[in-house]
Structure formats: structure tokens, C-alpha cells
Amino acid sequence: MTPSSLIPFFPLGDMNRTLREPLHKALDRVLDSGWFILGPELEAFESEFAALCETQHCVGVGNGLEALRLLLQASGIGPGDEVIVPSHTFIATWLAVSACGATPVPVEPCPDTFTLDPARTEDAITPRTRVLMPVHLYGQPADMDPLNNLARRHGLLVIEDAAQAQGALYKGRRVGSLGHAAATSFYPAKNIGALGDGGAVVTNDAELAARVRKLRNYGSEVKYRHEIPGGCNSRLDELQAAFLRVKLPSLEADNARRQALATRYTKALAPWAGPALTLPFVAEDRCSVWHLYVIRTPHRKALRAALTKAGIDTAVHYPTPVHKQLCYPEFAGLRLPLADRMADEVLSLPLSPMMTEDDVDRVVQTVQAFLRPLMR
Ligand SMILES: *Cc1c(COP(=O)(O)O)cnc(C)c1O
């Protein structure tokens, strides 16, 4: 490696090219079968992914947003219902609620883990609340036990948004199996990504799984028999399912590699933590799969510029808090200071299973060189 070489944020093309041969084989298999929708590849992937999530059922759908929306719809959520969502998340979490005609009720995160705060969640529960929707943000599971206890006490459902945390653990249990049901996404840049769009619902609730199975397919499970008003067609296709079957076996190793690199970042940057730098924190009872390595700094713009100058790509997840998006004028006046602060200060450093230790060290050195004058 030359010192001037670029460190991409996430080398998506390279990641997929390491699997060129098996991906080509998968393509040939589907091409030869002549079967492209709702076939054996999807069925096999659904059982393989359910096994990973330690759930009994998996239903492949078109993308992560649809997985969330169909789960809410299948749970009977609609106008007049409230769904508690994190104030700091990717907008899809809220959009799924709005798409059902229900109202997203944002709750601020725990300031250390960035995930839904159970204490504030309790304060936000009203007689209209039907669902708690924690997000396992950046790869770290939300604090599920207190959320599940709240749900039990108030008769609510818990639906996990697990799009960023495939394979992560909470108290030794898999994300996806921690609430009533979970939605995930196979968007190409997720920890397990398709070569296109994809998503899935996982659950131990057989009836709920059956309803999602119908809803994803015009409200029908048996051809030309339409039992429920579906109004939707959202299926994980055979080609993407076949590609995902190629990628699933390396998920654990990829996640382990992410964990090793994240640990390296944290060890090297820990002495520099302070007012100018907050490092990501993972609670002791959780195992993050490090979808992203997100630091916080009030000097984000300048630090980003310094990293760019050194040939290091970064990203911001996410620059505008959801309540300030133009599509949500009804939330514009809300006071959500933590979400605002996250949006101002978060910075995602490059992290991918393909990164080398030397790459991490170079990022670390650039961050240190930037912070040195600020720490005097
Ligand atoms: C990516 C993502 C989604 C949506 O997934 P798509 O497949 O892009 O629709 C939902 N929630 C979170 C937290 C995500 O990161």
C-alpha cells in the first residue's frame, strides 16, 4: 500500500467481487431453472436466514421499508394508532409507520448507546400506543428487556428494526428473535447485502408470518385466491435470494472482522476521547456487528475535511434529524435536542471487512493529528 492510496468508506464492488464465482453459479442456477419469483431459492434462503436469527419463520420481501410496513399492517396497525420510534434513526423507520396511516411518536436515545431509551419510552406511552419499534442502530441491539417488559405491562407489540444488525446479539440471543417480530433489509451496503433490493420479516408468530406472506403477494398465498385486501406486491426475487444464499455463510466471519477492526479503532482512539471526541459505546450485555463505526465530534466539518485531504472517505448517518425533514412538517416544532445533536456531531469512519489493520491505523493517525492541537 502506498501512503497516498485512498481508503474508501465501503468498497461495495470489491466486497461482491470476492464472491464472483459463486455469484455467477447462483445466476446460472436461477437462469437454468426458469423460475424467478416465489420459488426454491427464496424458500431455501428463508429457512437459512430464520436459522441465523433463531426464529421459526422468515418471509422474504422487496426491501427493508416494506418489511417494516407489512409487519405493521399485518399487526392491524392503522389510523389513530401510535408507534414509538427512535428520534435518531434512518427515516425508513418512521416512514413505515406513516405509510400505515399511524403516527410515529419519537423518543430520544440513550446518549451512550444511541438506541431507544426505555425510561423515556415509558413516558411516551399513551392509551393510543400500540407498538414499540426499537432500532438496532449502527449494529448494536437496543436494550430489549426493559422494552419487552414495558410492552407486556401495557399490552403492546415490539417490532425490531434490525436492518443494521444482522447477526448481532443481546444477552446471547440473536437480533430478530428479541421482540414479537423483526424487519431487516438486504440493501447492498447492509452487513448482508443483495445485488439489488431485498428485505425480510422474521418472527416466531406463525399467524403473523402467514399474514405477511399473503400481504406481500396481492393478499394471496394460493394462486388466484385472494383472502385479504393486500394492495401490495413485494417479494424477494429468486435471483436476489440465490445471491443472498451465497453471501449468508460469510456473514459471521465478516461481522467478526468488523468487530476486530472496531476494537482496534476504539483502543487507539480511547486516550483521545474528551470534549472533542466521543467514541461509540457498546453495552456489556450486547454484541454489536458494527454496521457503522460512528464517532461524535463538535468539529465534524473540519475533521471530515482533514480526513478527505488524507484520502479517507467518511459519511454522516444522518445529517438531518427525521423530525426536521420536509416530508414531516407536523414534527418541525418538536424539541428533540439529542436527535439534533446527533445529526450535528455524528461521523462514520470507514469500516468494512475488507479493510486492513494498516488502513485503520492510517485513519487513527489522521484523527489524532487533527485532535492534537485541540487538546492543548
Ligand atoms: C436500510 C434501513 C431501512 C430500510 O431498508 P431498505 O431496504 O433500504 O428499504 C430501514 N431501517 C433502517 C434502520 C435501515 O438502516
Cβ atoms of 218 and 253 within 8 Å: the answer is no
Helix (H) or strand (E) run with residue 202 in it = strand 199-203
Helix (H) or strand (E) run with residue 82 in it = strand 82-86
Which of 65, 72, 138, 201 best tests ligand 1's pocket when mutated (most atoms within 8 Å of CB)? 65
Q: Please give the pLDDT value at position 375.
A: 80
Atom number, ligand 1, closest to the C-alpha of residue 92? 10
Q: What is the DSSP string of 115-166?
A: SB-HHHHHHH--TTEEEE--B-GGGPPP-HHHHHHHHHHHT-EEEEE-TT-T
163 CB near ligand 1 (under 6 Å): yes
Q: Rounded to whole angstroms, how far apart are CA atoms 197 and 66?
A: 11
Helix (H) or strand (E) run with residue 359 in it = helix 357-371
Q: Rounded to whole angstroms, how far apart are CA atoms 297 and 295?
A: 7
Which of 90, 216, 237, 322 best tests ligand 1's pocket when mutated (most atoms within 8 Å of CB)? 90
Q: How confident is the model over 335-354, as a mean pLDDT?
A: 97
Which whole-number Å values give the CA distances from 88 to 55, 341, 358, in the listed order? 27, 10, 32
187 CB near ligand 1 (under 6 Å): yes
Average pLDDT, the chain: 96
Q: Please give the pLDDT value at position 1.
A: 46
At 326, the pLDDT band (50, 70, 90 cuts) reads very high
Helix axes of 357-371 and 251-269: crossing angle, nearest 10 degrees: 30
* pTM of the complete model: 0.96
Helix (H) or strand (E) run with residue 201 in it = strand 199-203
pLDDT per position as a tens digit, 47-83: 999 999 999 999 999 999 999 999 999 999 999 999 9
Q: Is the pLDDT at 149 greater than 50, yes or no?
A: yes
Q: Is the pLDDT at 257 greater than 50, yes or no?
A: yes
Q: Is the pLDDT at 336 greater than 70, yes or no?
A: yes
Q: Is the pLDDT at 29 greater than 50, yes or no?
A: yes
pLDDT per position as a tens digit, 102-112: 999 999 999 99
Residues near 283 by beta carbon (within 8 Å), at least 6 away in sequence: 112, 113, 140, 143
Q: What angle do CA 90, 65, 292 make, to 5 degrees?
A: 40
Distance 272 CA to ligand 1 centre (A): 32
Helix (H) or strand (E) run with residue 214 in it = helix 206-215
Distance 185 CA to ligand 1 centre (A): 6
At 89, the pLDDT band (50, 70, 90 cuts) reads very high
Helix (H) or strand (E) run with residue 347 in it = strand 346-349
Atom 4 in ligand 1: residue holding the nearest Cα: 64
Q: Please give the pLDDT value at position 248.
A: 98
64 CB near ligand 1 (under 6 Å): yes
Q: Is the pLDDT at 155 greater than 60, yes or no?
A: yes
Of 66, 30, 41, 54, give the one whose Cα is nearest residue 244. 41
272 CB near ligand 1 (under 6 Å): no
322 CB near ligand 1 (under 6 Å): no
pLDDT per position as a tens digit, 261-310: 999 999 999 999 999 999 999 999 999 999 999 999 999 999 999 999 99
65 CB near ligand 1 (under 6 Å): yes
Distance 264 CA to ligand 1 centre (A): 27
Residue 219 exposed, middle or buried by CB count within 10 Å (0-12, 13-18, 19+): middle
pLDDT per position as a tens digit, 189-198: 999 999 999 9
Of 153, 207, 210, 142, give the one whose Cα is nearest residue 179. 142
Distance 90 CA to ligand 1 centre (A): 7
133 CB near ligand 1 (under 6 Å): no
Distance 140 CA to ligand 1 centre (A): 15
Q: Please give the pLDDT value at position 229.
A: 80
Q: pLDDT exceeding 70 applies to what percent of the chain? A: 99
Distance 65 CA to ligand 1 centre (A): 6
Residue 155 exposed, middle or buried by CB count within 10 Å (0-12, 13-18, 19+): exposed
At 227, the pLDDT band (50, 70, 90 cuts) reads confident
User: All 3 cell numbers of residue 188?
Assistant: 447492498
- Coil, helix or strand for 61? strand
Q: Please give the pLDDT value at position 3.
A: 53
Distance 281 CA to ligand 1 centre (A): 22
What are the percentages of helix, strand and coil residues in the chain, rounded to 5? 45, 15, 40
Distance 198 CA to ligand 1 centre (A): 10
92 CB near ligand 1 (under 6 Å): yes
